[in-house]
Structure 1
Amino acid sequence: MNQAANPVRPPFYAYENDAWVDSVFNSLSFEEKIGQLITVAAYSNKDEAHTQEILKQITENKIGGLVFFQGGPIRQAELTNKFQQASKVPLLIGIDAENGLGMRLDSCINYPVAMAVGAVQDDSLVYQMGKDIGQQCKRIGMQVNFAPVADVNNNPENPIIGYRSYGQNVENVTRKAMMYALGMQEENILPTAKHFPGHGDTEKDSHKTLPVIPFGKERLDTLEIMPFHRLIYAGIGGVMVGHLDVPALDSTGTPASLSKPITGKLLHDELEFQGLTVTDAMNMKGASVKGPPGTADVMALAAGNDVLEFVTDPKAAIKAIKKAVRKGILTKEEIDQKCRKVLMVKRWTELNDWLPVQMDSLYEDLTNPLYRLTSRELTKESLTLLQNKGNLLPLQNLDTLHIATVSIGRDYDTAFQKAVGQYLQVDNFHIDKSASLKSLQKLLPQLKNYNLVIAAVNNFWMTPENNFHLTQVQLDVTNIISKMDNSVVVLFGNAYAANAFRDLNDARSIIMAYQETDDAESLAAQLIFGGIPAKGKLPVTLNKFFPAGTGIQTKALGRFSYTIPEAIGIDSHYLDQRIDSLVNIGLTQKAYPGCQILLAKNGKVFFHKCYGYRTYKNQVPVKPTDIYDFASLTKITGPLPALMKLADEGKFNVDDKFSKYWPEWDNTNKANIGIRDILAHQGQLEAWIPYWRSIVKPNGRFKHGYIRHRPTRKYSLRISDNMYLNHSFIDTIYSDIDKSPLLPKKAYVYSGLTFYLYPKIISNLTGENYQKYIHENFYGPLGASTVTYNPYLKYPINRMIPTEDDTFFRHRQIQGFVHDEGAAMMGGVSGNAGLFGDINDAAKIIQMYLNYGEYGGKRYISEATMKEWTRCQFPDNDNRRGLGFDKPLIDNSEKTIDEAYPAPSSSAESFGHSGFTGTFAWADPENGLLFMFFSNRVYPTRNDRKLYELNLRPRLHQAVYDALKRGLKNEYDEEKHVLKHSQEEEGGYPPVQNPPF
């Protein structure tokens, strides 16, 4: 096992001749020096008696350190301060946090399990994880993390390592362990690679017994030991020795942790490890030996260990060690050497200048969104596409799919199913893991109605006992769905569990997600729909179909991905504070009872938040899936995309006269008005016509012949729940528009009159029903499933946000029916208003515009047409408008926030529209920014104009630009010992150099 270069000395050797180390060492009695080598277990979820016992060990036995286990961060920090203050020498405090503090402590971040990290191909993320965890350890007052696991797991039946290993490939395990370790060391946190000489190929748990590693020296050198060898040469500061029987290295059956041939000769002499050698927990059955108390502790130190972890009886251990020195089993020089090494580590971790853990903002610091970003990015990069017959994924042609999702193991809508629903309307099914055969027989016939079934296997164990605790119903349902013609199966858990499913290989597509977390479930759905690419590679061999290294790579399709603000360089705390404060002004001032805001940058939705309630009764909170009346947003989401598509096809020309497409104008005052002028709102048309007034008497009653309370062949235009208008009134509306007077000059006046006519024009040009045409060409392929006219025909009324309490026309609360009276009198289907949908689906349409006509790998409108229709058409006429689209005020960037529309920072290329009910959508191609604001500001009356008076939408819009400009704080906080992330580019981390081997 010769190495070309000498090993890098662990970093704490910089303090080999340090004055503090010398001073403390010289102040210690021999017994106290022994105490420095002992750590005991501490818990922050136990009672005062436990605390007093630890204090006793500190004051009486002068122990050198603690290893914390279960509890919470605040409680642990308080105990840490108490324990440190009681100790003569600062304590070396550690934790077993292989995948982050959340592994042991509540309210802390959990990073992906090692098996998932093993699937990640970008090692810089693993390095960043090490830095993150190092910062968190430092912030909570710890100096040691008993990680990384450097075991090569090549035994699927391993009961204790398994998913805790980075996999079965030596190179991959080495790189991942090294990046994690070096990341922690950069933060002056001591890593301890474990479990030397390798615990990966065993079917026994060293917590319960002494496992045997029965392989020869050559195999051990090239497999089990190799990661440790390379980590040592890279300068890792700590190694943990496992309780393992390795006959090829020590034929006596002595555990490696107590074995001189293994710990002393192999680890120290042959591999030249000079760092801190730590035993695995001494309370484990694998460390049991015959003899009086302290026997194993003496053997561990004599073998070459420096620190004893989890000593259960420190007093007995110290007594036994002193006796061993007297007998010559150990020497004072060995104890001195080990003690100095411990003190060097304490000096390197800055315990020479110990300060109490600061309790202010501790939770906030430990859960910094930047840390969550690292965890989320690791999860994203780990997702592994094992099979993809016919390139099914990412899904395309959404309008052809009728999808069912099935959670196999949960009896509720999972995070995965909810995330799938962000891309397309699907039907969700569930079958609990304890479900009966009857439930299975009921489910299967229902699935035959779908041409794609996406099955998520949930709720099984990460460890292999009892077949991962998979039930027969889970196995049966998964096997049956796998054999369906079109099926996608996602496994949320230990990859080895794939072997439990007999027919899994028959599935069209298989995704390995490695764990059941909200991030894993959300991101797996995004992979299926092309919001993110598939990049992971299987770190272990499952069977002949799926060997280690399997991983089909896909590209993102350009549909939305869903992430957090930090992923696009925004400080989420700052953004939340700005947005929340402005929204709350509106809530307090009753500008609206509730609202939603959705923000995206470069196709990444990084903010979607609901506020308030549907009404001022404060009974039903606003939900992400609520359906809103678009109002005038209909203009740019209904007829406008169809007209642009027809323009691309040469069937519609904005430089034609409008009368070419609406011959009724041929012999009227409007015969020569051009379409370009009309779409830019300078066609001399009146702003609006109150059609409803023509059928209402002065006393508020309806004139005879117009309204019935039940539908008939003649009265078929439904304008409310029990109000039906004479269908001939549509012709009256057309006639009123045709006969309307013209304004005296060509100037900007916002007019919606021609938008009543576009649906019929579009039907004439396409030969198709208008609604069918826009659904088949836009909403269906976009996955904008909720966007529809007359939503009451498709969804329950209680899913829809109420608008105005109409006291002058329909005399009822409007909910599920279009608010605009004119659109209502068109039967709910008009080009000026009438569309409904949720904010996420509306955003897909606007994002398609922002992409200049492309979304999800499909082009809907040519880039040239998009750029032409979204440019300011007549700036010289003091008209800011595009063709149908609204634009910023001319010279908007020079205006104050009170004068600007929309935000002063919105670019001149930006465009969008607002809706009378309180909706607003704005796209900024220059900044890649999408801003969506949905509210029902007309509840209970349109007369409430506070949304405008408070100028909230421009202020909210500007807050997003301010957050983008401000970016992330990249600074070191000396008091809190937290180094903020630094991203070289959006969503990226600095590259990491190759490991030094």
Structure 2
Amino acid sequence: MLITKYFTRISLLLLLISVFTDTVRGQSSLINTLNSQNHWVDSVYKKLNRKQRIAQLFFVRAHTNKGQAYEDSVGKVIQKEHIGGLVFFQGGPVRQTDLINNYQKLSRVPLLIAMDGEWGLGMRLDSTISYPYQMTLGAIQNDSLIYKMGQMIAYDYKRMGMQINFAPVLDVNNNPNNPVINYRSFGDSKYNVAKKGIAYFKGMQDAGLITVAKHFPGHGDTDVDSHYDLPLLPFTRDRLDSLEEYPFREAIKAGIGGVMIAHMSIPAFDSTKNLPSTLSRPIVTGELKDSLNFKGLVASDAMEMKGVTKYFPNGEGDLRAFLAGNDIIELSPDSKKAEKMILKALRHHKMPKEEFEAKVKKVLAAKYWAGLAHYTPASRAGLVSDLNRDSAKALVQQLSDTAITLLKGDSTSLYKDPKKRTAIVSIGVDEETVFQKELSKKYPNSLLFLVGKKTPVNELNGMLASLKKYDQLFISIHDTRLRPQSKLDYNSDVKLLISQLASLPNTITCVFANAYTIAGLPGIEKSETLLACYQKEDFMQRAAVKVITGQIKPKGKLSVSINMFFPTGTGIIF
């Protein structure tokens, strides 16, 4: 009897291992699937006319927070144009799942559904989980946690009926003033960006989600946002090849399924004046496809962005993106008009028919790999609770715990006496913070203080006088804006207070803001203990309290260079 049970368990284990191995083997062959002959792909391709084949390359914008008229207008585009996919933006998970199911019913060929989820569904949707930003993840020394995050995010996407995540960001953010990448990057080390990006995309791709790394060849060293204008990358080919392209090259070697092209003018690759890289055949085909030997899906960045439309309006940008070598044309301002222009270009033999056919079949092959050949609608039953499962929340906290970075101090300076008179000061806020609430539980002899971003100097002076009477201080600095920018929006008097408090003995300072903000707070380096906590979210505040109270040890290393005191890689671990 015991022997029978033993062999039954062994057989079950072997079966699970076999299924897992087959699954991973099938999912890791995305690039092969995109470039292999496929009966389903061939069959679908033959049933489409040329106009419908062109439309398969277009992905249009979709929302669930713009009302019924907007939703209906997208439905009409699906029915009339036979587009290849949708890119969802703001809304809610149940509404979006219902709408995806409805849109799939309208489409002759199953749609590829994409969304930007760099930090998970929470980047776009309410009632869903947000994982830490990539700058925060860049501080983590255990890449297996980032791989696990990728798997979790893939599950969420597939649970809602989506097949593509436009992530990770592989830009090396070596410009602290970058207005568009910044905290979305893993940092300013090309090696760290590559390692973290590969861990992230492999987690997603191994779990069956198509991933699209962005923004090739690298948007990290710009001070212009391509949503509003065309950035210039004035660097040499050697610099671009050795730095900006490095993470993309490594991701391609590791099997990334998709790459998104940035809208940037790059004279070293293409000297055509004011030509966005998205529209440049020497960049899209010559550099990415030929030089880097990329065989996956090539997607444009949003074609509605000013980085394109400023110089190439009225569908001209879409046509050029198509001719440059993009397989997916994302968010055309007028897909119907652009499709007509491409049809005319094909009639005039502007692209070899073999190249066009391969492009369309690559999109169809992506649909096959993602399981759309046997499409089944996503279930709304229990969706919100499933997307907010305890295991996902636990991983968010684990990632946060592992990212907290000790820039200055040691175990002696970090752990304070809970019996002493303690002040817990949160700056940049107008109500008690999670940091204060959690820390005060461990320090019963404490008083809480709040400092607003624009607190007048007379109030600040009075507070400073009071705080000098305490035995020890815990200072938390918060950026309450939706996204963590490189400079805090505090008045100069509040910044001076931070410097004055840092100079007091027995002070621990925690910065719940973009790491770059530390450079704009001269004197903060005088704090006996200084922790970089990267962002404002509650999970980071809880992680910092755990470090301060000795529940966990600091494990992070700085993902960007702040100044001469704190270069990339700074992080005291004990």
For the structure 1 residues 442 and 40, does the alpha-carbon distance in structure 2 shift closer, same or farther, using more than 3 Å as the test?
Answer: same
Q: Which amino acid aligns with 2:531?
A: I
Q: Aligned partners of 2:492, 2:381: CA distance in 1, in Å? A: 50
Q: Which amino acid aligns with 1:507?
A: S
For the structure 1 residues 258 and 187, does the alpha-carbon distance in structure 2 shift closer, same or farther, using more than 3 Å as the test?
Answer: same
2:532 equivalent in structure 1 = 512
Q: Which amino acid aligns with 2:439?
A: V
1:413 equivalent in structure 2 = 432
1:26 equivalent in structure 2 = 46
Q: 3-state SS of the aligned residue for 1:195?
A: strand
Q: Which amino acid aligns with 2:355?
A: E
Q: Aligned partners of 2:464, 2:241: CA distance in 1, in Å? A: 52
1:578 equivalent in structure 2 = none
Residue-by-residue CA offset, 1:151-205 (whole Å, 9 max, x unaligned): 0001100000000000011110001110111111012111111000000001110
Q: Which amino acid aligns with 1:157?
A: N
1:359 equivalent in structure 2 = 380
What stretches of structure 2 of length at least 5 have no aligned partner?
A: 1-26
Structure 1 position 536 matched with structure 2 position 559: no
**What is the 5 A alignment of 1:180-579?**
180-253=200-273, 254-288=275-309, 290=311, 293-388=314-409, 391-399=411-419, 401-425=420-444, 426-461=446-481, 462-464=483-485, 467-554=487-574
Contact 1:289 1:296 in 2 (8 A): no
**What is the 5 A alignment of 1:788-867?**
none
Residue-by-residue CA offset, 1:815-862 (whole Å, 9 max, x unaligned): xxxxxxxxxxxxxxxxxxxxxxxxxxxxxxxxxxxxxxxxxxxxxxxx
Q: 3-state SS of the aligned residue for 1:134?
A: helix
Residue-by-residue CA offset, 1:533-557 (whole Å, 9 max, x unaligned): 1000001110000000000113xxx
**What is the 5 A alignment of 1:174-185?**
174-185=194-205
In the TM superposition, residue 394 of structure 1 has moved relative to its aligned partner by 3.2
In the TM superposition, residue 402 of structure 1 has moved relative to its aligned partner by 2.0
In the TM superposition, residue 391 of structure 1 has moved relative to its aligned partner by 4.4
1:145 equivalent in structure 2 = 165
Q: Aligned partners of 1:344, 1:128: CA distance in 2, in Å? A: 26
Q: Which amino acid aligns with 1:21?
A: V
Contact 2:315 2:333 in 1 (8 A): no
In the TM superposition, residue 18 of structure 1 has moved relative to its aligned partner by 2.3
Q: 3-state SS of the aligned residue for 1:138?
A: helix
Q: Aligned partners of 1:73, 1:365: CA distance in 2, in Å? A: 11
For the structure 1 residues 428 and 397, does the alpha-carbon distance in structure 2 shift closer, same or farther, using more than 3 Å as the test?
Answer: closer
What stretches of structure 1 of length at least 5 have no aligned partner?
A: 1-7, 555-997
Q: Aligned partners of 1:10, 1:195: CA distance in 2, in Å? A: 23
2:112 equivalent in structure 1 = 92
In the TM superposition, residue 442 of structure 1 has moved relative to its aligned partner by 2.2
Q: Which amino acid aligns with 1:295?
A: E
Q: Aligned partners of 2:447, 2:412: CA distance in 1, in Å? A: 20
Q: 3-state SS of the aligned residue for 2:330?
A: coil
Greater relative contact order (CA < 8 Å, ≥ 6 in sequence): 2
Contact 1:193 1:238 in 2 (8 A): yes
After superposing on structure 2, the runs of 4+ consecutive aligned residues of structure 1 that deviate more than 6 Å are: none
In the TM superposition, residue 117 of structure 1 has moved relative to its aligned partner by 0.2
Q: Aligned partners of 1:9, 1:183: CA distance in 2, in Å? A: 11
Q: Which amino acid aligns with 2:563?
A: N
Contact 1:392 1:509 in 2 (8 A): no
Contact 1:202 1:212 in 2 (8 A): yes
Q: Aligned partners of 1:61, 1:43: CA distance in 2, in Å? A: 19
Q: Aligned partners of 2:104, 2:32: CA distance in 1, in Å? A: 24
In the TM superposition, residue 463 of structure 1 has moved relative to its aligned partner by 4.9
Contact 2:407 2:571 in 1 (8 A): yes
Q: Aligned partners of 2:105, 2:31: CA distance in 1, in Å? A: 24
Percent identical: 41
**What is the 5 A alignment of 1:93-108?**
93-108=113-128
Contact 1:419 1:526 in 2 (8 A): no
Q: 3-state SS of the aligned residue for 1:79?
A: helix
Q: Aligned partners of 2:182, 2:527: CA distance in 1, in Å? A: 25
> Highest Rg: 1 or 2?
1
Contact 2:299 2:330 in 1 (8 A): yes
Residue-by-residue CA offset, 1:455-482 (whole Å, 9 max, x unaligned): 10113544547x3323324312211111
Q: Aligned partners of 1:103, 1:476: CA distance in 2, in Å? A: 34
For the structure 1 residues 203 and 434, does the alpha-carbon distance in structure 2 shift closer, same or farther, using more than 3 Å as the test?
Answer: same
Contact 1:140 1:357 in 2 (8 A): yes
Q: Aligned partners of 1:468, 1:278: CA distance in 2, in Å? A: 34
For the structure 1 residues 75 and 447, does the alpha-carbon distance in structure 2 shift closer, same or farther, using more than 3 Å as the test?
Answer: same
Q: Aligned partners of 2:397, 2:485: CA distance in 1, in Å? A: 26
For the structure 1 residues 263 and 524, does the alpha-carbon distance in structure 2 shift closer, same or farther, using more than 3 Å as the test?
Answer: same
2:9 equivalent in structure 1 = none
Residue-by-residue CA offset, 1:68-106 (whole Å, 9 max, x unaligned): 000000110111011000000000000011010001000
1:726 equivalent in structure 2 = none
Superposition RMSD on alpha carbons, in Å?
1.5
For the structure 1 residues 414 and 290, does the alpha-carbon distance in structure 2 shift closer, same or farther, using more than 3 Å as the test?
Answer: closer
In the TM superposition, residue 23 of structure 1 has moved relative to its aligned partner by 1.3
Q: 3-state SS of the aligned residue for 1:192?
A: strand
**What is the 5 A alignment of 1:598-997?**
none
Q: Which amino acid aligns with 2:371?
A: E
In the TM superposition, residue 292 of structure 1 has moved relative to its aligned partner by 6.2
Contact 1:244 1:286 in 2 (8 A): yes
**What is the 5 A alignment of 1:150-161?**
150-161=170-181
Match of 2:61 among 22, 26, 41: 41
